[in-house]
Amino acid sequence: MRLSHIATLGVKELRSLLRDPILLVLIIYSFTFAIYAAATAMPETLSRASIAIVDEDRSPVAQRIIDAFQPPYFLPPAMITQSEMDERMDDGRDTFAVDIPPHFQRDLLAGRQPAIQLNVDATRMSQAFTGSGYIQSIISEEIVAFLQRYRAVDVPAIGLALRARFNPVLEEAWFGAVMEVINQITMLSIVLAGAALIREREHGTIEHLLVMPVTPFEIMTAKVWAMALVVLVATAVAMTVVVQGALGVPIQGSVPLFLAGAAVHVFATTAMGIFLGTVARSMPQFALLLILVLLPLEMLSGGTTPRESMPTLVQVVMEAAPTTHFVLLAQGILYRGAGFDVVWPHFAALAAIGAALFGFALARFRATIGQMA
C-alpha cells in the first residue's frame, strides 16, 4: 500500500464528482433545502390548521366559539354557508369544518343537549386526529364558561413543575433538523460511494485501474476518503448555515466532536455503499437496492421512534447497524452536551462495525475486480 496512490486516486474521485452535475445538485439539495423542509414543513403537533365555521345560530355563545379558534393552532376561521361546506372540503381548502346548528344557544339554556357537527379531512393525518381533540376541548370550555357566566379555574390538589429538558420550548424543528442531518449523512455517503464505483464501470475506467500498479485496497480506500470528505464538508456547512443559522437550533455540545463521530459513521456507510455498488450492475439496480437498505436503517435506528417501542428482535438486529449508534451519539452530543467520555462506546461500536463492513466490502470488491481482469 502506498499513500501516494490513495491520495492520487482520491483526488481523481473528487474531480469525477465535480464533473457530475446531478450528484452535485443532490448534495446541495440534501444538505440545505431538504433539511429545512423536513424541520419546518411537517410539524407533529397542530399548527396553523385551516378551519371553516358555519354559524346558523348567530348567538353570543356561537361567537365565543368562533373567537376561540386563533393562531398558532388554527388559522382565523373562514365563515361560510352550509352549501359551501362540502365543496370546500372536497377541494381540500379546509381541514376542519364546524357547523353550529340553529337555536343552539336556546337549546343549551333549556337544558337540552344540542349537537355541533365537526367535519374532518382525515387524509391530513398529521393534524386530523390531534385537531379533533383540540376542537372538542375548545368548544366544551367555551360552553361551560358561557353557562357559568365566568371561566372556572380548578385548583389542583398538587402542583406539577414541568421541566422540558434539551428542548425547553418543545420546538419540533429543533428535533427534526438534527434528525434530517443524520439521515442525509447516511443516504449521501452510501449513494456517493456506490455511484462512484458504478460510474467507473459504466465509463470503462475500471479497466484502466486494473492495468495500473494499484491494489484493490488502495482503490477502495481512495473512494472512501474522497466521498467521506465531501459528506463531512457538506455536514459542517449544513450544521452552521442551516441548522444553527436559518433554523436557530441551539447546539449544546461540541460540533467538532459530532463531526468526528460522523466521520466514523461515514467510514462504515461508504463501505456499505461500495458493497452495494459491486452487487448492482447499473444505477437503476443500485437505486432499488438502496431503498431496501436505507429505509430500515433510518426507520429502525431510533431517530424517529424510540427503540424501546420496537420488538425485541428488531432491537437486537439493529445493534449491528451503524445508524443506531450514530443516532445515539449525535443526540447525546448535540442535545445533551455529552463529551467523549460519555459517547465513546458508540464511537467504538461504529469503528468495529465500520471495520467489519470495510473488510466485507473489500473482499467483494476484490472478487468483482478479479472477474473483470
Which region among 10-24, 30-44, 185-199, 288-302 has the lowest average model confidence (pLDDT)? Answer: 30-44
- Specify whether 70 is located in the same domain as 197: no
The pLDDT of residue 154: 59
Residue 153 included in any domain: no
For the segment 64-69, the average pLDDT, to the nearest whole number, is 93
The pLDDT of residue 33: 92
Which region among 157-161, 172-176, 245-249 has the lowest average model confidence (pLDDT)? Answer: 157-161
Q: How far is CA 233 from CA 4, 27, 29, 146, 247, in A?
A: 22, 11, 14, 60, 19
Which region among 57-61, 96-100, 218-222, 368-372 has the lowest average model confidence (pLDDT)? Answer: 368-372
The pLDDT of residue 371: 62
- Please, what is the average pLDDT of the chain? 86
Q: Return d(Cα 317, Cα 10) in angstroms, integer.
A: 34
Q: Are strands 96-100 and 117-120 parallel, antiparallel or unpaired?
A: antiparallel
Residue 150 has pLDDT above 70, yes or no: no
- Specify whether 174 is located in the same domain as 275: yes
pLDDT band, residue 330 (cuts 50/70/90): very high
- Specify whether 324 is located in the same domain as 238: yes
- Specify whether 182 is located in the same domain as 316: yes
Between 169 and 224, the higher pLDDT residue? 224
Q: Which cell goes with 49?
A: 390548521
The pLDDT of residue 28: 93
- Specify whether 25 is located in the same domain as 111: no
The pLDDT of residue 1: 58
> What does the chain come to in residues?
373
Residue 107 included in any domain: yes
- Specify whether 173 is located in the same domain as 272: yes
Q: Return d(Cα 91, Cα 229) in angstroms, integer.
A: 48
- Specify whether 108 is located in the same domain as 13: no
Q: Domain range spanning residue 60?
A: 51-148
Q: State the total domains in the chain.
A: 2
Q: What is the CATH number of the domain that holds 107?
A: 3.40.1710.10
The pLDDT of residue 91: 87
pLDDT band, residue 181 (cuts 50/70/90): very high
